[in-house]
Amino acid sequence: MPQLKAATVSNQIVRKRKRNDVAEEESPAIDTPGEASITKTTPVPTKTHDGGTKPKRVPKAKKPPPLVRNEPTFSNLVTSTIPWPASFQALEKTHRALNLVFTFCCTRKHLITTFDTIKGSVEGHIKRELKIEDVAKIVALRPGGMNFSYVDEAMLQVEIKGAERDNTFKGGKSKDWFAQHPAPDASVGGVTGQHGLGNDEPATGNGEEVLYFEFIDGDLKRQVQDKKKGEAVKARPKLRNEELKMPVYSQKQMMNLIEKRNTKFGNAINDFLNRCDAENTDPEEALTKEAEGFIPIPTYSRSTTPKPDFSTLPATIPKDRKAVPEIIKELKESEWYTSQIVPDGHRVFDPQEAIYGDLNFQLSQDLVNALYNTKNITQLYAHQAEAINNLHDGHHVIVATSTSSGKSLIYQIPVLHELEKDHNTRAMYIFPTKALAQDQRRSMKEMMRYMAGLEETIVETFDGDTDMADRNLIREEGRIIFTNPDMLHITILPQEERWRNFLKNLKYVVVDEIHVYNGLFGSHVALIMRRLRRICAAVGNRHIKFISCSATVANPMDHFKTIFGIENVKMTDFDGSPSGRKEFLCWNTPFKDPGDPASGRGDIMTESARLFCQLILRGVRVIAFCRIRKGCEALVSAVKQELAALERPECMARVMGYRGGYTPQDRRRIESEMFEGKLMGIIATTALELGVDIGSLDAVITVGFPYTIANLRQQSGRAGRRNKDSLSVLVGDCFPTDQFYMQNPDEIFTKPNCELQVDLQNMLVLEGHIQCAAYEMPIRPDEDAVYFGKNLKGIAEERMIKDNLGFYHVNDRFRPVPSKFVAIRDTEEEHFAIVNISHGKNIILEELEASRAFFTLYDGGIFLHQGNTYLVKEFNPEKKIAKVELVRVDWTTQQRDFTDIDPIETEAICRIPKSLSRAFYGKIKIQQNVYGYFKLDKRRRILDAVQVDNPPIIIFSKGMWLDVPKQALDILQERRLNIAGAIHAAEHAVLSLMPNFVISMPGDVRTECKIGIKEFAQKESTRKRPARLTFYDAKGGAGGSGISTKAFEFIDLLLKQAVRRVEACHCHEGCLECVTSEACKHANEVMSKAGSEVILKSLLNMDIDVDALPMGPEEGSPAGIETVVLAKPVLPRGRMDITEIRRGIDGNEAVVVDHVEIKQEFED
C-alpha cells in the first residue's frame, strides 16, 4: 500500500497490515462516515481494569474493512438526476478559477490568499466580477473543504521584528518580506510597537482585518529543485552547511491536486441537486439560503449581527453540568461530528457503591472531629480500615488500589494517632515530585488545626526550594517532613549526625506512588532505602514502619519488598471506595476531507481543542494530557483560538497550561486555582499524571497514545473524583501506534498490567551507593551484607579503602561527598533563563534545561508559554539567557536537526558464538545539531525556511554496537531493500527484547532512529551513516547507567530472540509485535522488516533464503539514494582480549578466544 501523508512537514502515516488481511484486499472498501458511526457501547464492571480482577475479553465488533489508499473515495463520481442550472455551471467555473489561483499562490511565500489578492486573477479567468456571495455559495457546497473568513492582518505577517525595529536577526539568513499590505509591526502592538503588551494578556494588533480564503482539504507535498535537471523532486535532508530553502512543487503534483478538488466539487454539486430533487425544492433558492450562513462578517460588526448558532452549547458555562451520556449524545449530534468515535470504541464502566470497614482500635475524638471537619468523613472504606489495622498490628503496608480511592488517609491517620500518644514521634513522607509533597503538606496541616495540642506542630516540606534559614528549624523541631528521594540521598543521609535525633524517633516512612520507582530510578531508590534503614539501625531505631501506595500493577507486594528489602508485609488491593459511572471513548482524528482518506489525518491539536472547548463550555471540568511540553503549549494556543472562533473569549482565563519548566510560583498558583474551581480546564504533561489533588475533574482527554497502557490508565483515573459520572477520551494521532489502538480498542481494556522491575545487581549503581553508605558510616561487610547483598565483601576489597580495624571507607575518587557523584535520575543542573522583555519588562518566564535549549530557542524562532507566542529576540548560549517578546502571530517554528550517534572507543569485544561477527562495547558520542527552522502555519504548511548557526550539543555515554556484515549489505542491495530501514527495524527488534535479559524501562537504552526525509531522498547526501546497530545508555552521563553493559553480556541471546520474534510475526511491513516501537522518535517511518531479518541472521551466521525475500522497493520505503555505507571498525587503545560467552547448565562463562593487536587483525 502506498503511504498516506499529509502534504506538510509532519510525520508520515505508516499503516501496517497483517497477513490474514491480504485476502480481503481483493474487495477493497473505504472507512465511511456511515460505517464508523455504528459504535457499540459495551458495559464493563467498574475497577476490573484498575484494582481488581482482569476483565474478560469483550467480543470484538466486526473489523472495519482495510483502508485502500490507491482508490480514494473522490474517484467514486456522484451523478445528478437533474441537469445543472446555469448558475451552478457558473459556480463550477468560479471554483475552478479559485482552485487554480489558490494552488499557484501556495507555491509563492510572499502571496497571502486574501480575497483582494486573488480577486483580480480569478476575475481574469471567469470574465466577470467575483462577489463575496459567490464564494460563500461555493463554501456552502463543500464547507469541510474551504475556509472563508475575516482574520487579523497581523496574524498573517511572517517577518516580524518586534518593538525594537531590528533590521536583521542575529544568525538568521532569511530575507525581509511581508504579507499583503501589513500594518507596521502590528503583530507587537500597532504602529509604535508598544501597545497591548500587558504582562498577562496577549499582544494585540491594531484591529485591521482582511478577508482570507483557503482550501483546507489537502496540501502540496514539500519538494526541492534538482540542481541538474531543474525539476521538483522529493525533499532531501538539509544538513550541516547546506542552505535551507523554501520548497518547490512540480506541475504534475499541482495539477493532480487541482483536478482532485474539482472532482470533489462536482460531486458536491450533484449531491446537492439530488437532495433538492428528492425534497422537491428549488436548488438555486436553497443554495442562496444556505450560503447566507457562510458570508464572512468582520469582528467589529458582529456585535450588531445575530451570532451563529453553535449547536447545543449553553450561553454561559453552567454550574451543574448534564450527565455524561447526554453530553456525548450532543457531541455526536454536532455538525462537526464525522464519526470520530471508532467502532467498538465506546465503553461504559458501571458505578460501584462504597464498602465500609471498621478499625480494631479507637481513634481520639479530636482525630474523628478533624476527619469530619476537613474531609466530611464519618466512615472509612474497607481498604482504608484494613490497611490501617495491619499497620497498627505491626506490619509494613502496601496499598494497590485505583486512583482517587482515598489512599492518603491510610498514612495520615496512623501518623496523627501516634503523634497524639507521643509528641516526639517523627514521620517522613517521600514523594517523587515537589507538587505532591506540597499537596499532602497542605492536607495534613488542615487536619492538625482541629487537633488539640498539635496545632503548632511543625509540618513542613524539605526539598531543594526550602530556604537555608528554615532548614535547621525543620530538622530539629519538625515532626513530619515532606521530601523526595533526591533530598534523602544528597542532604539527609550524608548529614546523618545532624539528623540523628530525627532518625532516632522516626516511626513511619511513607513512600507514595511507589510504581514510579521502576527500572534504573527504582534501583537507586531501593539502595537509598537500604542506606536509610542501615543508619536508623545504627542509632538504635529498628522499629520503623514503611507504608506505600501504588497504582495498580502486576506485582505490588514483590516490588515493595524489593524497594525496602524487608519482609512482614501486608498488602491491601481490594478497593472499597465508591465510583461513578465512567465512559471511555476512542476518538480518532478525522481525515482532512472526511470523505477522502487520501487527504491524510487532520491536526490532532485542532481536534483535541475543539473537543476540549465543547466540554468546558458545557460545564465539564477537563484535564488534557499531552506527551511533550511543546504539545502542551500548542494545545493551549489551539484552545484559545477555538474559544475565539466560538465567540467565547471570556472563557480563555479559565484554561491554563501546566508543565515542567514553569517557575514554582506559577505552578503553585495554577494548582491553587484549579483546586479552588476557578479553572474549567487544565492542559498538562505527565507532571499532573500523579495524584496531585487539583479538585474534582469530570473528564480526561489524552492527546495521542501516551507510550504505555499503564500511563493511559493512570491518566484516565484522574477523572471522577466526586462519585459523579465521568468521561475519559483517547484522541488518536496519525502515528501507527495510535492507529493500532484506534483499530483495536479492545487492547486498551484487556492488556494486563505491567510488572515493575528493579535491578539491585547493577554494579555501577550498587557501587555508587555503597560508597555513599561508607561516607555516612564505615562499611563492615559481614554486618552490612544484609543491606547491600552478598557481593559487598568483594566490592569493598576491590574498590574501597580498608583501615586497621577492618572498616572500609570511601574511595578517593568519590570524595569529598560521594552523593554528588551518584545521580539518581536524569536531572540537569544547567538551565537557561527565558526573559520576557515585552514593553520594557525584564521578567523570567521560565527556566529551560540546557539539553532542551538549542532545540527550543534560536534567533527569530517562536517560543510558546501558556499558549502565547513569544519571538526570540536574542539567544546567548554563553550567558545562558534568551530574551523574548510577546507577539501576535498565527504561525510557529519547528527546528530542523539531526543526531549522530557514533562509538569512539572500544573497551570490550565479544565474539558471537558460531559466527565471525563481533559485538563491541565502549564509549559513545551523541552529537545533536540544529541547523535551521521552518515557519509553519497552524496546518503545518511551510511559510519560510531560515538557517541558524547554533553550536552542536555533544554528550558522551556508554553503549554497545554491532557492525552489519558486508554479506548482508550485498543481499539488501541485490533485493533493493532499504538498508537504513533494515538497520532501524533490527535495532527496534533487539531493543524491545532487552527487558527479557536486563531489568530496564523503555527509554533507559536508546538507538539512532532513522528519518524518512533523509532516507527516502532522491539525491546524494553528504551525511553517510555507517551500517551499524548502536545502543547506548540514555541515563547516567558519560559513565553510562550499566544497563547496556549487562545487555552486552547477552547479545547472542538477544539476537536469537529477535530473529525468532521477527520470523514468527504474521505482519508484512512490521508492527508493534516485532520491529516497530511506541517510543520511536520518528514514528517508525523508515522500516524494512524483511531487511531486519537479513541483518539479524547474518550477524548470527544463519542461512538466509535470498529468493524468498521480497523484491524492493517496499511499499513503506520508497526508493532513494542509499545513505548507508560499510562501517569502519572502531579501534581500542592497545591490546584487548576478545571473549566469547559459553553458556551451559551450570551458568555462563566468558572465555578469552583471542588477544591479538586489534589494529593488526583488522588490517589482515
Q: Residues 1009-1054: pLDDT tens digits?
A: 766 555 544 445 556 789 999 999 887 777 787 888 888 888 999 9
- CB atoms under 10 Å from CB of 589, counted, come to 23
Type and span of the H or E element at 929: strand 918-937
Q: What is the mean pLDDT of each run of 10 residues along the chain (1164 residues)?
A: 33 38 37 39 43 39 40 59 89 92 77 85 91 91 85 69 40 34 34 34 57 80 54 47 56 84 90 90 91 82 48 79 93 90 92 92 93 92 95 94 84 94 94 79 90 90 87 93 93 94 95 86 94 95 92 85 93 89 93 77 90 94 89 90 87 87 78 81 75 73 85 82 83 80 88 80 89 94 92 91 92 90 74 88 84 81 88 88 89 82 89 89 88 80 80 86 93 88 90 78 77 52 79 81 84 91 82 77 78 93 90 67 81 75 62 54 38
Q: Which three cell numbers stand for residue 287?
A: 443554495
| Distance of alpha carbon 425 from alpha carbon 508, whole angstroms | 9
pLDDT at position 1021: 54
Whole-number pLDDT of residue 1163: 37
How many C-beta atoms lie closer than 10 Å to residue 790's C-beta? 9
CB atoms within 10 A of CB 123: 15
d(CA 871, CA 777): 53
Mind giving me the DSSP string for 638-649? HHHHHHHHTT-G
Total H helices, total E strands in the chain = 33, 40
Q: DSSP alpha helices (H): ranges in 250-381?
A: 251-279, 283-291, 324-333, 365-375
Strand partners, 954: 927
C-alpha cell of 309?
448558532
Helices marked H in 994-1088 — which ranges? 1012-1015, 1043-1049, 1051-1064
Res 93: pLDDT? 93
Rounded to the nearest 10°, the torsion over CA 150, 152, 155, 157 is 100
Q: Which residues contact 1142 (CB under 8 A, 6 or more apart)?
A: 913, 1148, 1149, 1150, 1151
DSSP code, position 779: B
| Backbone dihedral angles phi then psi of residue 445, each to the nearest 5 degrees | -60, -40
Lookup: cell for 1153? 578466544
Contact (Cβ atoms closer than 8 angstroms) between residue 110 and residue 180: no
Distance linking the first and last C-alpha atoms of the chain: 46
3-state helix, strand, coil in the chain (%, to 5): 35, 20, 45
- Of 800, 753, 768, nearest in space to 1035 by CA: 768
For 172, other C-beta atoms within 10 Å of its C-beta total 19
With H, G, I as helix, E, B as strand and everything else as coil, classify residue 886. strand
